[in-house]
């Protein structure tokens, strides 16, 4: 690591301690080797007024739920320093009571809940305090001679604290151990198997002490446990073949089945992870525990290693997890699902899983730091994580159990992956939006380049794709699976509406293009996604056909015939794919005027033909209501969900009621 301190930037905050605290907190948060996804915490002590204007000594501590990389002033909770310090003198304190007392000590009732390390920050007698879970330091402490090595690196400059549970217990331990020390001779505290505290009476000192402590640990690892693959990290070490992607989808399905909920899967096939996956002892060392105990919330205590019998292996993992729970449980606590959250896939790398893309990404990033840490620790005498009971205490911490009870129910399609074609406009775009609202990840395909810039949402993988091009489809489908782990729903929507022409005047190229886009491309998409749908979670396909199937119009032979063929394709697919649990249904929209084919000029011309106003023309159905892309999209998404879980082979009109169809 290196110092990111900039005198020019810092000068702007020189007279404002909290602004300086925000500045250096963000410097720390920018480096994932120090903290990951909300990890770590920082504080500053200064004067602050209460609601009556009375000034108190205060400590601002990072609030729960805030990330150091992007924290703002509002992310720090101001507490009365004397009250928080007195809490360290208490003989005992439950986690729930600690949270209550910290909230009672707030000088701002609208502030977030303070970090559980607030008491520890208060008892450290310096203005600025920084706490990280630096990879290099924790790697060294997670070895048989970790304490000796820390002493070798830092001498007496660093105070060493054996691992204890975070929160009040840790604060009480440090408070008792440091009562008689000369703080002027101490530059930091290392909490074994947990992390690092540094401090100073100015922001720069505390921050740069952190950088120095971590740099010395990194230098030690560079000398004693260098990894040759480090400088290649991120490059492809293996070629992930088509069959591998299908296997990835199967692994995702097996883990999700064990979890009892859909999951997103993120693959890491970089050289370091592939090398780790090929180790003969990978299963053994990945079962020793996480890099730091707080990671268990995201990754579970151990990894799952893929073997010859995937389902049997997952079943064994679940059985072992339940036994781990039974061995360590105390009191009335709720067991978490028994499925793994990271997987070692021999010869292919590692897989991280989560109920949402955010969860999977956090797990992937933690695994990305855990793998090199394990490899380096093995070079230092062996990876030695905390005993399982300590890890269990964090996984089933009262505060984490309370979060579970408060958590809202997941969105219906959370953890699921959909493909939508014709996604840049009209029904396709509305369907992408509806899937996102329902919690899904989406591969959005369209021939128009604008599809790439429509969504600033990591849950959307957008591809410029001509759906009649088999190679382009392969690329989009395979990369969607690489990114999300599988495919669960397909909404085959892309189409074209040729110029009206009676059969006598119908040109060959118009006929062929309509068949190519409105029929052949749908068959091609289905063929290429079947193998992934077979490994999908509650898999479903929705074809967007047309009212012209049950009620064709003159001059629309090319369109009507293609859509009729598409409908027949869907009926046969429903018959063929039902044994694999894949549902196939059809929607027949009509007069959806907010799509690209219905320009204002076309609508006005058609209204004149009927002798109607534009508004009357748009609502010329039995219900007298305009049909929108969003109407079609909501039903398309619903057809892939639980509401229609036992429906396949259905054809549903979305037309406001048409007297020719009814």
DSSP code at position 454: S
Q: What is the DSSP string of 210-259?
A: HHHHHHHHHHHHHHHS--GGGGGTTS-SS---HHHHHHHHHHHHHHHHHH
Helix (H) / strand (E) containing 43:
strand 41-49
Give the CA distances from residue 35 to residues 39, 59, 399, in Å, rounded to whole numbers and listed in that order: 5, 22, 21
In terms of DSSP bridges, do strands 540-544 and 489-492 run parallel, antiparallel, or are they unpaired? parallel
Helix (H) / strand (E) containing 445:
strand 441-446
Known catalytic membership, residue 207 = no
Helix (H) / strand (E) containing 354:
strand 349-354
Helix (H) / strand (E) containing 311:
helix 310-328
Supply φ then ψ for residue 376, to 5 degrees: -70, -40
Query: Are the beta carbons of 94 and 107 closer than 8 angstroms?
Result: no
Q: Which residue has the tokens 């599988």?
A: 486
| 377 Cβ neighbours under 8 A, 6+ residues apart | 139, 140, 142, 143, 225, 383, 384
CA distance 414 to 335: 21
Q: Around Cβ 610, how many Cβ atoms within 10 Å?
A: 10
Give the CA distances from residue 82 to residues 88, 119, 235, in Å, rounded to whole numbers and listed in that order: 10, 11, 52
CA distance 294 to 292: 6
CA distance 302 to 254: 17
| 431 Cβ neighbours under 8 A, 6+ residues apart | 420, 423, 491, 493, 632, 633, 636, 637
The one catalytic residue among 207, 321, 559, 617: 559
CA distance 266 to 248: 9
Query: Are the beta carbons of 439 and 415 closer than 8 angstroms?
Result: yes
Q: What's CA 269's distance to the chain center, in Å?
A: 18
What per-residue string of b and e applies to 463-484 under the rule 16 or more CB within 10 Å gives b? Answer: bbbebbeeebbeebbbebbbbb
CA distance 207 to 128: 9
CA proximity to 40, closest of 92, 75, 89: 75
What is the SS3 assignment for 490?
strand
Helix (H) / strand (E) containing 444:
strand 441-446
What is the SS3 assignment for 59?
strand
Which positions are catalytic? 559
């Amino acid at each position: 690591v290196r110092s990111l301190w900039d005198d020019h930037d810092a000068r702007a905050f020189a007279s404002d301690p909290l602004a300086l605290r925000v500045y250096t907190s963000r410097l720390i948060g920018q480096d994932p080797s120090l903290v990951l996804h909300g990890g770590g915490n920082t504080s500053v002590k200064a004067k602050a007024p209460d609601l009556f204007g009375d000034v108190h000594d205060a400590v601002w501590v990072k609030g729960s739920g805030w990330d150091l990389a992007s924290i703002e002033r509002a992310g720090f909770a101001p507490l009365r320093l004397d009250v928080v310090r007195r809490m360290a003198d208490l003989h005992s304190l439950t986690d729930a009571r600690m949270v209550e007392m910290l909230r009672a000590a707030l000088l701002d009732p609208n502030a977030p809940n303070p970090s559980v390390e607030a008491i520890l920050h208060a008892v450290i007698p310096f203005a600025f305090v920084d706490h990280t879970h630096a990879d290099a330091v924790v790697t060294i402490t997670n070895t048989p001679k970790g304490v000796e090595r820390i002493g070798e690196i830092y001498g007496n400059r660093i105070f060493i604290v054996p691992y204890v549970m975070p929160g009040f217990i840790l604060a009480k331990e440090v408070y008792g151990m440091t009562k008689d020390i000369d703080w002027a001779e101490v530059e930091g505290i290392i909490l074994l198997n947990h992390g690092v505290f540094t401090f100073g009476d100015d922001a720069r000192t505390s921050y740069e002490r952190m950088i120095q402590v971590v740099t010395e640990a990194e230098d030690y690892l560079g000398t004693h446990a260098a990894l040759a693959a480090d400088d290649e990290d991120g490059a492809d070490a293996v070629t992930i073949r088509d069959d591998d992607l299908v296997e990835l989808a199967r692994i995702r399905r097996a883990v999700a089945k064990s979890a009892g909920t859909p999951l997103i899967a993120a693959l890491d096939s970089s050289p370091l992870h592939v090398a780790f996956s090929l180790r003969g002892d990978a299963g053994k060392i990945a079962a020793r525990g996480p890099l730091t105990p707080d990671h268990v919330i995201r990754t579970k205590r151990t990894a799952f290693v893929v073997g010859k019998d995937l389902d049997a292996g997952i079943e064994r993992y679940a059985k072992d997890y339940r036994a781990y729970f039974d061995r360590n449980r105390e009191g009335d606590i709720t067991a978490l699902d028994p499925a793994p959250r990271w997987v070692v896939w021999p010869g292919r790398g590692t897989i991280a899983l989560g109920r949402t893309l955010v969860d999977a990404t956090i797990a992937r990033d933690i695994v990305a730091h855990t793998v090199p840490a394990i490899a380096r620790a093995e070079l230092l005498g062996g990876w030695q994580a905390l005993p399982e009971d300590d890890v269990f205490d964090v996984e089933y911490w009262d505060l984490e159990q309370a979060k579970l009870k408060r958590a809202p129910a997941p969105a219906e399609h959370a953890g699921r992956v959909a493909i939508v074609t014709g996604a840049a406009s009209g029904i396709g775009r509305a369907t992408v939006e509806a899937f996102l609202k329902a919690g899904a990840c989406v591969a959005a395909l369209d021939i128009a380049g604008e599809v790439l810039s429509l969504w600033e949402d990591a849950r959307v993988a957008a591809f410029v794709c001509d759906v009649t091009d088999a190679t382009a489809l392969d690329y989009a489908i395979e990369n969607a699976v690489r990114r999300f782990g599988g495919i669960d729903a397909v909404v085959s929507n892309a189409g074209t509406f040729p110029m009206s022409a009676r059969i006598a005047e119908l040109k060959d190229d118009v006929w062929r293009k309509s068949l190519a886009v409105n029929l052949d491309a749908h068959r091609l998409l289905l063929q290429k996604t079947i193998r992934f749908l077979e490994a999908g979670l509650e898999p479903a396909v929705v074809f967007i056909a047309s009212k012209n199937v049950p009620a064709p119009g003159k001059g629309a032979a090319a369109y009507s015939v293609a859509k009729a063929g598409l409908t027949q394709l869907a009926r046969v697919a429903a018959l063929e794919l039902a044994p694999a649990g894949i549902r196939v249904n059809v929607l027949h929209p009509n007069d959806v005027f907010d799509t690209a084919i219905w320009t204002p000029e076309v609508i006005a011309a058609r209204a004149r033909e009927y002798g109607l106003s534009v508004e009357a023309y748009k609502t010329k159905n039995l219900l007298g209501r305009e049909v929108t892309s969003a109407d079609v999209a909501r039903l398309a998404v619903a057809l892939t969900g639980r509401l229609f879980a036992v429906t396949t082979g259905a054809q549903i009109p979305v037309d406001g009621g048409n007297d020719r169809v009814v």
